[in-house]
Amino acid sequence: MTADAPRMTRAERKKQELRKEIVDTAFDCFADRGYHATGIADIAAELGIGHGTFYRYFQNKRDIVDHVITEIVGRVVTALAAENAPDAVDTLDDYREQVARIGESLWSVFGTDPRVARFLLLEAAGIDAEMRERVLDFHDLAADLTAGYLEHGVRVGYLHADLDVDATARAINGMIIAAIIAALRGSEKISDKRMGVAIRRVMYDGIAALP
Protein backbone atom coordinates (compact mmCIF):
# COMPACT_ATOMS: atom_id res chain seq x y z
CA MET A 1 0.00 0.00 0.00
CA THR A 2 1.41 3.39 -0.94
CA ALA A 3 1.48 6.34 1.44
CA ASP A 4 -1.24 8.08 -0.57
CA ALA A 5 -3.54 5.05 -0.81
CA PRO A 6 -6.62 5.26 1.44
CA ARG A 7 -6.63 2.79 4.30
CA MET A 8 -9.49 0.31 4.37
CA THR A 9 -11.49 0.30 7.58
CA ARG A 10 -12.17 -2.93 9.44
CA ALA A 11 -15.82 -2.78 8.39
CA GLU A 12 -14.90 -2.25 4.74
CA ARG A 13 -12.43 -5.11 4.89
CA LYS A 14 -15.03 -7.46 6.40
CA LYS A 15 -17.55 -6.40 3.77
CA GLN A 16 -15.05 -7.13 1.01
CA GLU A 17 -14.23 -10.50 2.54
CA LEU A 18 -17.91 -11.48 2.75
CA ARG A 19 -18.48 -10.41 -0.84
CA LYS A 20 -15.64 -12.71 -1.93
CA GLU A 21 -17.03 -15.53 0.22
CA ILE A 22 -20.41 -15.16 -1.49
CA VAL A 23 -18.77 -15.37 -4.93
CA ASP A 24 -16.65 -18.39 -3.94
CA THR A 25 -19.59 -20.21 -2.39
CA ALA A 26 -21.83 -19.43 -5.35
CA PHE A 27 -19.34 -21.00 -7.74
CA ASP A 28 -19.04 -24.05 -5.49
CA CYS A 29 -22.83 -24.40 -5.67
CA PHE A 30 -22.85 -23.86 -9.43
CA ALA A 31 -20.25 -26.62 -9.78
CA ASP A 32 -22.19 -29.04 -7.53
CA ARG A 33 -25.78 -28.35 -8.66
CA GLY A 34 -25.47 -26.43 -11.91
CA TYR A 35 -26.25 -22.74 -12.35
CA HIS A 36 -29.97 -23.08 -13.07
CA ALA A 37 -30.55 -25.55 -10.23
CA THR A 38 -28.83 -23.33 -7.67
CA GLY A 39 -31.00 -20.94 -5.71
CA ILE A 40 -30.15 -17.98 -3.51
CA ALA A 41 -31.28 -20.14 -0.58
CA ASP A 42 -28.61 -22.72 -1.42
CA ILE A 43 -25.86 -20.10 -1.45
CA ALA A 44 -27.11 -18.42 1.72
CA ALA A 45 -27.43 -21.76 3.52
CA GLU A 46 -23.88 -22.77 2.64
CA LEU A 47 -22.64 -19.46 4.05
CA GLY A 48 -24.94 -19.45 7.05
CA ILE A 49 -26.32 -16.02 6.19
CA GLY A 50 -29.82 -14.69 5.59
CA HIS A 51 -31.30 -13.77 2.23
CA GLY A 52 -31.23 -10.11 3.23
CA THR A 53 -27.47 -10.24 3.72
CA PHE A 54 -27.01 -11.76 0.27
CA TYR A 55 -29.11 -9.04 -1.37
CA ARG A 56 -27.00 -6.32 0.22
CA TYR A 57 -24.15 -7.48 -2.00
CA PHE A 58 -25.80 -8.86 -5.15
CA GLN A 59 -29.17 -8.41 -6.82
CA ASN A 60 -29.40 -12.11 -7.73
CA LYS A 61 -27.20 -15.07 -8.64
CA ARG A 62 -26.80 -13.81 -12.20
CA ASP A 63 -25.40 -10.56 -10.81
CA ILE A 64 -22.59 -12.65 -9.35
CA VAL A 65 -21.63 -13.89 -12.82
CA ASP A 66 -21.72 -10.33 -14.21
CA HIS A 67 -19.50 -9.24 -11.34
CA VAL A 68 -16.98 -12.03 -12.00
CA ILE A 69 -16.79 -11.31 -15.74
CA THR A 70 -16.30 -7.60 -15.05
CA GLU A 71 -13.54 -8.42 -12.58
CA ILE A 72 -11.81 -10.77 -15.03
CA VAL A 73 -11.90 -8.16 -17.80
CA GLY A 74 -10.41 -5.61 -15.41
CA ARG A 75 -7.63 -7.99 -14.37
CA VAL A 76 -6.83 -8.86 -17.99
CA VAL A 77 -6.61 -5.19 -18.96
CA THR A 78 -4.41 -4.50 -15.94
CA ALA A 79 -2.11 -7.40 -16.90
CA LEU A 80 -1.59 -5.76 -20.30
CA ALA A 81 -0.49 -2.37 -18.98
CA ALA A 82 2.90 -0.74 -18.31
CA GLU A 83 5.79 -2.96 -19.50
CA ASN A 84 3.25 -5.32 -21.06
CA ALA A 85 1.53 -2.64 -23.14
CA PRO A 86 1.52 -3.18 -26.95
CA ASP A 87 3.94 -0.31 -27.65
CA ALA A 88 6.32 -1.08 -24.78
CA VAL A 89 8.75 -3.13 -26.90
CA ASP A 90 10.48 -2.50 -30.23
CA THR A 91 12.45 -5.69 -30.97
CA LEU A 92 11.62 -9.36 -31.47
CA ASP A 93 13.71 -10.37 -28.46
CA ASP A 94 11.86 -7.90 -26.25
CA TYR A 95 8.58 -9.17 -27.72
CA ARG A 96 9.53 -12.73 -26.73
CA GLU A 97 10.15 -11.61 -23.15
CA GLN A 98 6.96 -9.56 -23.11
CA VAL A 99 4.84 -12.49 -24.30
CA ALA A 100 6.32 -14.68 -21.55
CA ARG A 101 5.40 -12.06 -18.95
CA ILE A 102 1.90 -11.71 -20.34
CA GLY A 103 1.48 -15.48 -20.28
CA GLU A 104 2.38 -15.56 -16.60
CA SER A 105 0.03 -12.67 -15.85
CA LEU A 106 -2.89 -14.25 -17.70
CA TRP A 107 -2.28 -17.58 -16.03
CA SER A 108 -2.54 -15.83 -12.67
CA VAL A 109 -5.96 -14.56 -13.80
CA PHE A 110 -7.36 -17.82 -15.17
CA GLY A 111 -5.32 -20.41 -13.32
CA THR A 112 -5.78 -19.27 -9.73
CA ASP A 113 -9.46 -20.28 -9.64
CA PRO A 114 -10.27 -23.00 -12.20
CA ARG A 115 -13.98 -22.80 -11.34
CA VAL A 116 -14.20 -19.29 -12.72
CA ALA A 117 -12.34 -20.16 -15.93
CA ARG A 118 -14.52 -23.25 -16.40
CA PHE A 119 -17.70 -21.27 -15.87
CA LEU A 120 -16.67 -18.39 -18.12
CA LEU A 121 -15.42 -20.56 -21.01
CA LEU A 122 -17.79 -23.52 -20.82
CA GLU A 123 -20.98 -22.66 -18.97
CA ALA A 124 -21.82 -18.95 -18.80
CA ALA A 125 -22.98 -18.69 -22.42
CA GLY A 126 -25.77 -21.16 -21.62
CA ILE A 127 -27.37 -18.98 -18.94
CA ASP A 128 -29.39 -16.77 -21.31
CA ALA A 129 -29.07 -14.81 -24.56
CA GLU A 130 -27.80 -11.67 -22.86
CA MET A 131 -25.06 -13.54 -21.03
CA ARG A 132 -24.11 -15.33 -24.25
CA GLU A 133 -23.60 -11.94 -25.88
CA ARG A 134 -21.54 -10.79 -22.92
CA VAL A 135 -19.27 -13.82 -23.23
CA LEU A 136 -18.90 -13.21 -26.97
CA ASP A 137 -18.12 -9.57 -26.25
CA PHE A 138 -15.37 -10.76 -23.91
CA HIS A 139 -13.83 -12.84 -26.71
CA ASP A 140 -14.08 -9.87 -29.10
CA LEU A 141 -12.32 -7.65 -26.55
CA ALA A 142 -9.58 -10.26 -26.10
CA ALA A 143 -9.10 -10.41 -29.87
CA ASP A 144 -8.89 -6.62 -30.11
CA LEU A 145 -6.30 -6.52 -27.32
CA THR A 146 -4.16 -9.20 -28.97
CA ALA A 147 -4.46 -7.46 -32.34
CA GLY A 148 -2.99 -4.33 -30.76
CA TYR A 149 0.28 -6.18 -30.08
CA LEU A 150 0.42 -7.60 -33.59
CA GLU A 151 -0.29 -4.23 -35.20
CA HIS A 152 2.57 -2.70 -33.23
CA GLY A 153 4.93 -5.51 -34.25
CA VAL A 154 4.05 -5.07 -37.91
CA ARG A 155 4.43 -1.30 -37.69
CA VAL A 156 7.82 -1.48 -35.97
CA GLY A 157 9.02 -4.28 -38.24
CA TYR A 158 9.61 -7.37 -36.10
CA LEU A 159 6.47 -9.17 -37.39
CA HIS A 160 5.56 -10.03 -41.00
CA ALA A 161 4.52 -6.94 -42.95
CA ASP A 162 1.64 -8.83 -44.61
CA LEU A 163 0.37 -10.39 -41.37
CA ASP A 164 -3.43 -10.72 -41.18
CA VAL A 165 -3.61 -9.08 -37.76
CA ASP A 166 -7.26 -9.72 -36.89
CA ALA A 167 -7.32 -13.38 -37.98
CA THR A 168 -3.96 -14.09 -36.30
CA ALA A 169 -5.15 -12.47 -33.07
CA ARG A 170 -8.15 -14.81 -32.92
CA ALA A 171 -5.95 -17.80 -33.80
CA ILE A 172 -3.57 -16.97 -30.95
CA ASN A 173 -6.42 -16.52 -28.50
CA GLY A 174 -7.86 -19.83 -29.64
CA MET A 175 -4.61 -21.53 -28.69
CA ILE A 176 -4.67 -19.86 -25.28
CA ILE A 177 -8.26 -20.99 -24.68
CA ALA A 178 -7.30 -24.53 -25.74
CA ALA A 179 -4.47 -24.47 -23.18
CA ILE A 180 -6.83 -23.34 -20.41
CA ILE A 181 -9.37 -26.04 -21.30
CA ALA A 182 -6.63 -28.69 -21.32
CA ALA A 183 -5.62 -27.53 -17.84
CA LEU A 184 -9.24 -27.63 -16.66
CA ARG A 185 -9.51 -31.21 -17.90
CA GLY A 186 -6.31 -32.11 -16.09
CA SER A 187 -5.08 -33.68 -19.31
CA GLU A 188 -2.10 -36.00 -18.88
CA LYS A 189 -1.37 -35.96 -22.62
CA ILE A 190 0.20 -32.52 -22.57
CA SER A 191 1.51 -30.33 -19.77
CA ASP A 192 0.82 -26.63 -19.20
CA LYS A 193 4.51 -26.00 -19.83
CA ARG A 194 4.47 -27.76 -23.20
CA MET A 195 1.34 -25.86 -24.23
CA GLY A 196 3.02 -22.59 -23.28
CA VAL A 197 6.13 -23.43 -25.30
CA ALA A 198 4.05 -24.45 -28.34
CA ILE A 199 2.01 -21.26 -28.28
CA ARG A 200 5.09 -19.06 -27.93
CA ARG A 201 6.84 -20.90 -30.81
CA VAL A 202 3.93 -20.05 -33.08
CA MET A 203 3.88 -16.45 -31.87
CA TYR A 204 7.64 -16.03 -32.30
CA ASP A 205 8.75 -18.20 -35.17
CA GLY A 206 5.50 -18.43 -37.06
CA ILE A 207 4.92 -14.71 -37.56
CA ALA A 208 8.32 -13.11 -37.02
CA ALA A 209 9.70 -11.10 -39.89
CA LEU A 210 12.64 -12.72 -41.63
CA PRO A 211 16.01 -11.05 -40.86
Give residue 184's pLDDT. 79
**What are the structural domains, with CATH classification, of the chain?**
1-58 (1.10.10.60), 61-206 (1.10.357.10)
**CA-CA distances (angstroms) from residue 191 to 100, 183, 187?**
16, 8, 7
Average pLDDT, the chain: 85
- Checking 85-88 for CB contacts under 8 A at 24+ apart, the result is 86/148, 86/149, 86/151, 86/152, 87/152
pLDDT category at 53 given cuts 50, 70, 90 is very high
- In whole angstroms, give the CA distance from residue 94 to residue 158: 10
pLDDT at residue 74 above 50? Answer: yes
Q: At what angle do helices 40-47 and 10-33 cross, to 10 degrees?
A: 120
| Contact partners, residue 191, CB within 8 Å, separation at least 6 | none
SS3 sequence, the chain? Answer: CCCCCCCCCHHHHHHHHHHHHHHHHHHHHHHHHCCCCCCHHHHHHHHCCCHHHHHCCCCCHHHHHHHHHHHHHHHHHHHCCHHHCHHHCCCHHHHHHHHHHHHHHHHHHHCCCHHHHHHHHHHHHHCCHHHHHHHHHHHHHHHHHHHHHHHHHHHHCCECCCCCHHHHHHHHHHHHHHHHHHHHHCCCCCCHHHHHHHHHHHHHHHCECCC
pLDDT tens per residue across span 119-176: 888 888 999 999 999 999 999 999 999 999 999 999 999 998 999 999 999 988 998 8
Could you tell me which residue, 208 or 162, shows the higher pLDDT?
Answer: 162
Lowest mean pLDDT among 15-24, 38-47, 189-198: 189-198
Cβ-proximal residues to 122 (8 Å cutoff; 6+ apart), any chain: 181, 184
Asked whether residue 197 carries a pLDDT value surpassing 80, the answer given is no
Phi, psi of 191, rounded to the nearest 5 degrees: -85, 160
